[in-house]
Amino acid sequence: MYDTVIRNGLIVDGSGLPAFKGDLAMVAGRIAAVGAVRGTGAVELDAKGRAVAPGFIDPHTHFDAQLLWDGAARPALEHGITTVVPGNCSLSLAPLRRSDREALCGMFRQIEELPKESLDGSAFSWTWESFDGYLDALRRSLRINVAPLVGHSVIRLWVMGAAANQRAATAEEQTAMQALLRSCLEAGAVGLSTSYVDVDANLHPVPSRFAHSDELDGLAGVLGEFGRVLQVVPEFYNTDITIARVDQLAELSLRHNITTTFSPLFDSANTPDNVSRVMARVREQVRRGARVWPQVQTRPIDISFSLDLPSLFFAGNPPWFNALRLARPERLRLLKDPAHQARLVAAAGANGGDGWLGGLIVRQLPGDNEGLEGRTLREIARERGQSAAAALIDLSLEHDLKVHFLAADRGHEVPDRVGPLLADPLVHIGASDGGAHICSFSTYGDTGYLFSKFVRETGQLTLEQAVKKITLDTASIWGLSNRGLLRAGYAADVVVFDPDSIDRGPERAVNDVPGGGMRYVRDSVGVEAVYVNGTLAWDRSGYQDTSVGEIVT
Amino acid sequence: MSAEPRIVAALPGAGHDGLPELIVRIRFENGAERDVIIDNDAGLRLLAGCGVDRLEALAGHSWRQVRQALLNLDATVSAASLGD
């Protein structure tokens, strides 16, 4: 008898081959059979009308700390993600000496927007200094699989101490870093991450940015010994420098026979040749035999602002821009002045700024007794019988300028440009940043959006192609053995979903970060059940009380 | 031909971190043009440093104003010293 049999599903097995109707059996954490399963299961699930696919793999996350108080990396798991790769962008929580904790926590707080209480030892116990000690701490309550990267910045911190973010390393220090990386890879790290962009709590460059190229070359050599991956954050805001980094990664890939990936790469209507130029260089380097994978996110980029701080959002409208960049007391005086309010409303454009401001979404509204969060300014203005511009001002004044507004789809938002990019065989779908920027926007639901937008709405990817992109392709790039396919003998990471409705839910704020911190999340839509290593970890009834996640390599 | 690189256009953009950003196009002495993307705060400093209140008015200003804004240097440096 099998542990579980999922019957009558549409098997989308991760290979990219056409889906077919069939069953899937699991036993002892592995897939036992796929097709027409004759034996019975202790548990049977009817998946008629539902897709059955390998669990999705998210290759770019920052769940390093969250996994210690939430082994499911909520809400990633409920979106069908069964394996996450934390430790990106040069930052991991190990190896880390006790004396360096505060320095590293500052970097995490800056990049992930975590409150102090989430890292001060009250949410979890700092029981480790070594990388394998960290993995042991993770293993105690994992509900999701973890393929951890080790961060270049923490390796520098361990070897160089306070000098890590001040200077290049000596030859002896480089040798020590290589030995340390070797021990992390032996413990279970799937690669090394580095960054040329990130900053710490004092807006000072993180340690990895002080490394000379020979230091990275030496570390890449160690990755080559283990066949592991190098993840890089290049200067993505500059096309020329990004292309230079592609060349650098290609050289490292060829010299050390390693896979490299960089993130993010995204499209913008105002920098229309960025993607095409970078991809042209990627193709050129791939033809040489290099393995350089650009990571592209599925979701569009939203931006947020309040009237409490000056924002370039208003830079296209001088009357608004000039009023809102005044010192706070003067700004408040102007906003409260009826005559000036009328001038601003008039300057907002036709219909009281409906076109410019009406689509803004209200978020982070302190003491939201009216249920306004998540609604558009247009709706609220209509109810109040005023213009969108007037509603923007009044809502802000009513809440001491602390209301945040979201302008959706302001970058990476044109399906005819993003869809073909995601479908490109040389593009690695990723860069979700799960667990980071938690107070700014939701980094969850990118997989649901992939299906709703680019499979169902635009048809730029087939269902099979989309599943392959976030399962087998990801497992292959990262060298995760026995994951990403529905095949007998493979790990039974399985997601059951409705292909006609899978999506991401609306963004909402929750206060579930240790210390009372808030974050934005999105619930899953259309996902029905998620199995991790053969055990039901989530279904529509909620998260299951399991600890079945593994450190995967 | 300009004696030194100058801003020829500036467009609003959306940053990876969820904040607005500014895409500044610079024309070099040889006529080549390249975009430089700067963050919200640097963009605000650039507008202030150039003494303008609209993006179109950035055109014609020296590239050194962009550097000044990025490095968060004291904005009291005279416009003349920056080639404006």
> pLDDT of A113-164, one tens digit each?
888 888 888 899 999 999 999 999 999 999 999 999 999 999 999 999 999 9
Amino acid identity of residue A282, one-letter, is V
Cβ pair A52, A492 in contact under 8 A: no
Query: Does A198 touch chain B if contact means CB atoms closer than 8 Å?
Result: no
Q: Average pLDDT of A156-177?
A: 97
Asked if A321 lies within 8 A of B54 by C-beta distance, the reply is yes
Q: What is the DSSP letter of A491?
A: B
Which amino acid appears at position A521 of this protein?
V
Contact call for residues A234 and A248 (beta carbons, < 8 A):
no
How close B64 gets to chain A, by Cα (Å)?
Answer: 17
Q: What is the mean pLDDT of residues A450-460?
A: 98
Residue bearing tokens 């190229």: A213
How far is it, in rounded angstroms, from Cα A210 to Cα A451? 40
Q: Which residues of B touch A318 (CB under 8 A)?
A: 53-54
Least confident interval from A176-180, A360-364, A539-543: A360-364
**Contact partners, residue B46, CB within 8 Å, separation at least 6:** B10, B22, B24, B38, B58, B65, B66, B68, B69
Q: How far apart are CA A104 and CA A140, in angstroms?
A: 23
Chain B CB contacts of A268 below 8 Å = 13-14, 23
Chain B residues closer than 8 Å to A315 by CB: 12, 20, 22, 43, 47, 54-55
Chain A neighbors of B67, CB-CB under 8 A: none
- To which residue do tokens 């000379």 refer? A212
pLDDT of amino acid B79: 43
Q: Work out the pLDDT band at A181, boundaries 50, 70, 90.
A: very high
Among A309-313, B1-5, B28-32, where is mean pLDDT lowest?
A: B1-5
B67's CB contacts (< 8 A; 6+ apart) are none
- Whether the bond into A319 is cis, omega within 30 of 0: no
| Beta bridge partner(s), residue B39 | B21
Could you tell me the two tokens for A39? 């034996």
The secondary structure element, H or E, covering residue A4 is strand A2-11
Biggest alpha carbon distance in chain A?
A: 78
**A243 close to A193: Cβ distance less than 8 angstroms:** no
Average pLDDT on A434-460 reads: 95
Does B75 have pLDDT greater than 70?
no
For residue A481, give the DSSP letter: T
Whose structure tokens read 């991401």?
A504
A199: contact with B, CB 8 A cutoff = no
Of A266, A268, A303, the CB nearest to B19: A303
Q: For A208-233, how does the pLDDT look when each residue is reduced to its tens digit (9 = 90+)?
A: 999 999 999 999 999 999 999 999 99
Q: What are phi and psi of A458, to 5 degrees?
A: -100, -20
Q: What angle do CA A154, A232, A63 make, to 5 degrees?
A: 60
Both tokens of A483, joined, read 């994951």
Q: Which H or E run includes A400?
A: none
User: What distance in Å separates the CA atoms of residue A522 and residue A540, rounded to the nearest whole number?
Assistant: 15
Among A60, A470, A417, smallest CA distance to A262 is for A60
Q: What's the pLDDT at A116?
A: 81
Model pLDDT, residue A163: 97
- CA end-to-end distance (rounded Å), chain B: 16
Tell me the chain A residues in contact with residue B53 when contact means C-beta distances shorter than 8 Å: 318, 321-322
Can you name the residues that pair with A56 across neighbouring β-strands? A81
How long is chain A?
Answer: 553
Closest residue by Cα to residue A48 from A82, A78, A11, A4: A11
Residue found under tokens 């592995």: A30
**Chain A residues with beta carbon closer than 8 angstroms to that of B13:** 268, 270-271, 410-411
Q: Which of A301, A312, A325 sits opposite B12 (nearest CB)?
A: A312
DSSP-assigned beta bridge partners for residue A517:
A513
Q: Rounded CA gap, A128 and A97, in Å?
A: 8
Tokens at residue B72, please?
């968060």
Q: Quick check: bond before A506 cis, omega within 30?
A: no
Q: A470-513 pLDDT, tens per residue?
A: 999 999 999 999 999 999 999 999 999 999 999 999 998 898 99
Query: Is A322 in Cβ contact with B14 (below 8 Å)?
Result: no
Collapsed DSSP state (helix, strand, coil) of residue A250: helix
Please, which residues have CB within 8 angstroms of residue B15's CB and are 6 or more apart in sequence? A301, A303, A411, B21, B39, B40
Element (H, E) at A508: strand A503-513
pLDDT at B84: 58
- CB contacts of B55 in chain A (<8 Å) are 315-316
| Chains A, B: CB pairs < 8 Å | 82
| Binary contact (A239, B35; C-beta < 8 A) | yes
The structure tokens listed for A534 are 């053969």
Reported as type and span, the H/E element at residue A278 is helix A274-287
Amino acid at A525: V
- Least confident range from A77-81, A104-108, A352-356, B44-48: namely A104-108
At residue B73, the pLDDT reads: 55
- Side-chain-facing half-sphere of A509: CA atoms under 13 Å: 21
Query: In angstroms, what separates the C-alpha of B27 from chain A's closest C-alpha?
Result: 15
What number of residues does chain B have?
A: 84
Burial of A393 (0-12, 13-18, 19+ CB in 10 A): buried
pTM, entire model: 0.93
Q: Do B54 and A322 touch (CB under 8 A)?
A: no
In contact, A143 and A549? CB cutoff 8 Å:
yes
Q: How far is B6 from chain A (nearest CA, A)?
A: 17
Mean of all residue pLDDT scores within chain A: 95
pLDDT at B72: 75
Q: Tell me how far apart the alpha carbons of residues A519 and A114 are, in angstroms, rounded to a whole number.
A: 9
3 state SS of A27: strand
* Residues of chain A with C-beta less than 8 angstroms from the C-beta of B71: none
pLDDT class of B2 with cuts at 50, 70, 90: low
Partners of A447 in the β-ladder: none
In this complex, the residue of B13, B34, B48 whose CB is nearest that of residue A270 is: B13
Dump pLDDT digits (tens) for A264-315: 999 988 889 999 999 999 999 999 999 999 999 999 999 999 999 999 999 9
Local confidence band at B78 (pLDDT 50, 70, 90 cut-offs): very low
The residue behind tokens 């995967």 is: A552
Mutate to test the interface with B, among A236, A267, A270, A325 (most CBs of B within 10 A): A270
Classified as helix, coil or strand, A292 is strand
